Structure 1
Amino acid sequence: MANMCSLASVRRVVVLALVGALTACASGSDALKPADLGANPALLGVRTAWTGKIAPVDFPLQAKVTGQTVALAGNDGAVLSLDARSGAVLWRTEVGGPIAAGVGSDGRFSAVVTRANELVVLEAGQVLWRAGLTAQVFTAPLVAGERVFVLGADRSVAAFDASSGRKLWQQQRPGEALVLRQAGVLTAVGNTLVAGLSGHLVGMNPVNGNTVWDATLAAPRGTNDIERLVDLVGGFSRNGNELCVRAFQSAVGCVDALRGSVIWKRAAAGAVGVHGDDAQVYGVESDSRVLAWQRANGQPVWTSDRLLYRKLSAPLVLGRSVVMGDATGLVHLLSRADGTPLTRLSTDGSAIEVTPVVAAGTLVVVTRNGGVYGFQPE
């Protein structure tokens, strides 16, 4: 994201903070030299199977996988669905304005939010309906159970009927003055809608928005608004009913999403989400140190400083590796067992800020310049 240490006012939210800017301002990491990578170990055989192109991406894009397809969007307002096996465009639609958040999809309906605060829902690649929103949105809408759920930057959560666009309910929650201009947490676990609101992971009844449980992972601290900034960031790890998430520059923790109880939490100074498997949770700190914690209790397993100051994306667990992109367009695959490098892949040289995804055995990576890459095993 662009370097910017200033803050701007918007509607009910007092100020917005660009995560990259806050991280740079706080740590001065821009002035620190990235770690030398050395020769590519090339311990995994991976090839570039296909490439594609979308408009540049300067909003918090979340690539959405449904079966063998990946839904993407670019700055220009184009929303598209790709076949992950071949990179072929299945459909492409213009929504009529730059995009602020997306993409949400259940395979039938897809949803994005424009910078004009308009929720746009598509079916089979055609615009089905539009609805104005009361606040900015940075998190991809969640499409589930014939409904579309939206997490607003003003700590509101709203639900719409996916077919008609009728607004079903909206719940508002007070929060601290600052929010992050990046994706938050919005998902479903069983019959519970789960949203990140300030430093809380909140379970809600999807029928009416009533709170079912509230788990605190981080609390505001400090004496000014920036020091008191607390938010849960997008990119989580789910294993059954257990959901593990990161609180911005504060903590990583896991919650039982049926009971709303905190299983564990541990101090951690990162700004992007986590991912995991049934044994471990993996995360990236603000200095690009990569960590693994035991899923059961949060105890550290390993730490890797091989990629220091490379401004890594959130991680993806894939096979025996943990995958991350960096600010120079390189894709790094580290061993899940101990964090040692396995191989690295090249893209177009622009930053990879979108969390990589996997569909149909293909690793899909999107760069800031709009390059889309499908990598497959050799």
Structure 2
Amino acid sequence: MLSLFKRLTLLAAVVATVGCSSSDENEATQPAELVDFAPVISVDEVWNRWAGDGAGTESWLRLKPAVDGDAIYVCDADGDCYAYNRHSGDRLWSVSFDLDVSGGVGAGSGFVAFGTLDGFLVVLNGQDGSEVFREQLTSEVLSSPAIQDDLLVVQSQNGHVFGFDLKMKERKWHYDATLPLLSLRGTADPIINDKVTYAAFANGKVVALDNESGVSLWEKRISIPSGKSDLEKLADVDGTPILDQDTMYAVGFNGFVRAIDLYSGRVRWQKEFSSWVGPAFGFGQVYLSLDNGELVALDDRSSSVNWKQDSLLNRRLTRPVTLGNYVVVGDFEGYLHFVSQLSGTFAERIRIDSDGLLSPPIVVGDTLYIYSSDGTLAAVQIREES
């Protein structure tokens, strides 16, 4: 696999190609100027708190928070971890580790977990932040661990997936995917769903793993390496897929968005789109933040394009999420954009942090939580509609 430096260089080249601003770029690749519109909803920050130094403005780490019960947890890149009451924003505890945190936080069953650049998995007690155990993995961890009941699943950058028994504090199983030499610097989060864990890889595949044994139940390719240049051959599935009832929706870089039967792995439909962030689902539609900054809504049955929003070109959009009647994305200037799920028109826009938003928002109930590049943790709600 590539060194950290080479991965950063490769990702920087990709971003420059699809929309990172520079002095000599042409108009087609410059971030779009924000358009004016008349807001139709009221969106408020319920609270915001300083939660460490974030990932930093020069980093591509997606350090998203996680919720378990009434608590929300987050760690910054320097190893400072925090717990807050997710309703009031009151701090519950904070702890510091001499570790370079590189993956987002996972939480569940009273545990909190994160991964590091040195390849450690660290598991904490959710009540007070005390360390429960840590384990050396095979490489850096750039995704959030998943927790369900007594099972914790974590994925490392080099394609290894580990299942841990939280009661026994020991490894339960291990799965190893074969990856290409070249890949983007990022990893999709594993997803635990009942008796199966789903994982996506830089080889362009998604895999279903048995939760008891880690054995592969099926695998399906989302992206196919093609082209002559190294950039054209990239086929990563870095965006976490989304599950809805019996269907998985997954999208890859230089690939497709595919609707896949969760039980058989059969492809129900596919559409040629490219994205390095995962999709969202709502109102019978699949939402994609494309590499070029377009926001697209696809019909979940036919895959037809219901609408496109192209006013955010090259603004390096986060993964979309749905909140109420709206789909929400963040951008590189720290704005959250609220777009109608029905029409694709803008409803409101608020700014969280001028240093930018890279980590994907998360939604719990009627509240959206976002962790910004400078360490601002914010809770956002739609207050009323006109």
TM-score (norm 2): 0.89
Q: CA separation in 1, counterparts of 2:321 and 2:112?
A: 23
Q: CA separation in 1, counterparts of 2:184 and 2:337?
A: 26
Q: Does 1:51 align with 2:48?
A: yes
Structure 2 portions without partners, runs of 5+? none
Q: Does 1:16 align with 2:13?
A: no
Matched residue count? 369
Residues 108-149 of structure 1 deviation map (CA, whole Å, 9 limit, x = unaligned): 111101222111001122110011111222111111231221
Q: CA separation in 1, counterparts of 2:323 and 2:200?
A: 25
Corresponding residue number in structure 2 for 1:131: 135
Q: CA separation in 2, counterparts of 1:40 and 1:112?
A: 40
Higher strand proportion: 1
Corresponding residue number in structure 1 for 2:113: 111
Q: Does 1:146 align with 2:150?
A: yes
Alignment of 1:289-304 (within 5 A): 289-304=294-309
Structure 1 portions without partners, runs of 5+? 1-6
Q: CA separation in 2, counterparts of 1:363 and 1:227?
A: 35
Q: CA separation in 2, counterparts of 1:186 and 1:22?
A: 27
AA in 1 matched with 2:173: W
Give me the CA root mean square deviation: 2.1
Q: CA separation in 2, counterparts of 1:131 and 1:229?
A: 31
Corresponding residue number in structure 1 for 2:162: 158
Corresponding residue number in structure 2 for 1:320: 325
1:47 match: secondary structure: strand
Corresponding residue number in structure 1 for 2:288: 283
Q: CA separation in 1, counterparts of 2:168 and 2:95?
A: 19
Structure 1 residues 8 and 218: CA distance shift in structure 2, 3 A? closer
Q: Which moved more, 1:167-176 or 1:112-121?
A: 167-176
AA in 1 matched with 2:239: G
Alignment of 1:1-378 (within 5 A): 8-9=2-3, 16=7, 20-27=11-18, 29-30=20-21, 31=25, 32-54=29-51, 55-57=53-55, 58=59, 59-123=61-125, 124=127, 125-197=129-201, 198-378=203-383
Structure 1 residues 372 and 321: CA distance shift in structure 2, 3 A? same
Q: CA separation in 2, counterparts of 1:85 and 1:18?
A: 40
Residues 338-358 of structure 1 deviation map (CA, whole Å, 9 limit, x = unaligned): 110000011221111111122
Corresponding residue number in structure 2 for 1:4: none
- Deviation for aligned residue 1:48: 1.9
Q: CA separation in 2, counterparts of 1:114 and 1:29?
A: 27
The list of structure 1 runs, each at least 4 consecutive aligned residues, that deviate by more than 6 angstroms after superposition, is none
AA in 2 matched with 1:41: A
TM-score (norm 1): 0.91
Structure 1 residues 18 and 211: CA distance shift in structure 2, 3 A? farther
1:159 match: secondary structure: strand
Residues 59-110 of structure 1 deviation map (CA, whole Å, 9 limit, x = unaligned): 2213223344322110121222222211122232223312011211114111
Q: CA separation in 1, counterparts of 2:231 and 2:376?
A: 34
